[in-house]
Amino acid sequence: MKRKRGYKSDLRAQQTAATRELIIKIAAEQFVPWSTDVPFDQLAERAGISVRTVFRHFPTQRDLLEAATPYLLERSGWRPDEMTADNFAAMSAKTFAYFGNLLDSSGRDSDPMPAVLRQHRVQQRIAPIERALGPLTEGLEPDLARAVLAVFSGLTRIQFLRGMHEQWGTRGEDASMAIEWAVNALLAALRVRQEQWKQDKKRKPSSRKRA
């Protein structure tokens, strides 16, 4: 009888641990990256468990976030202690790829804005950037070109400025200078890339004629 109780106890402990890991996984991959307010009812539904079970493992939002954050950091490739000037770009790219894939697979509406406001945003922000900077992305794959334009859009959003102010204590004048430098640096890199593409394009027809 004692062995049976021990077996059942071990099995129950494994099931409890597995449930906890499932809660962390779903919370980390489907909610936490996009909001610090995790709806426990939706989390429970996606995990196929009761809300009471979620609260049993994580009584508060803070408890859940403290468990989900290390899960995300471990898998995202973001290693603050290992960061250097040489690996910063590659590390950032790996992290963006991880969270981008989560967003692609989560089924979330990443743009819940009403259609009227969405169209206004296209007209006032996206279309002008495409018109002004789109020619510099010629030669890139269409999806990559659009992503590059999105980087320019992100750098020049008020939300980005707010982050500079709140997280870094950056003053308006310094933020202005930094943004101008960053945009110009990206534009210069794009122009170099475009010139390389034009040179490659010129070489291809000539090689075909010789053949």
Q: Are residues 169 and 119 in the same domain?
A: yes
Query: Would you give the distance in Å from CA 22 to the centre of its chain?
Result: 22
CB 28 within 8 A of CB 36: no
Per the domain annotation, does 18 fall within a domain?
A: yes
Q: Which domain holds residue 146?
A: 115-211
CA–CA gap between residue 118 and residue 125 (Å, rounded): 10
Encode 71-87: b = buried (16+ Cβ within 10 Å), e = exposed: bbeeebbbeeeeeeeee
Q: Are residues 75 and 146 in the same domain?
A: no
Polymer length of the chain: 211
pLDDT tens digits, the chain, 211 residues: what are they?
A: 455 566 667 888 889 999 999 999 999 888 888 877 889 999 999 999 999 999 999 999 999 999 999 999 889 998 888 989 999 889 999 998 998 888 887 655 555 555 666 566 667 778 889 999 999 998 889 999 999 999 999 998 888 999 999 999 999 899 999 999 999 999 999 999 888 888 877 776 554 444 4
Q: Quick one: which of 168, 193, 192 has its CA closest to 178? A: 168
pTM over 0.85? The answer is no
Q: Which amino acid is at 12?
A: R
CA–CA gap between residue 139 and residue 196 (Å, rounded): 9
Total of domains in the chain: 2
Q: Are residues 186 and 121 in the same domain?
A: yes
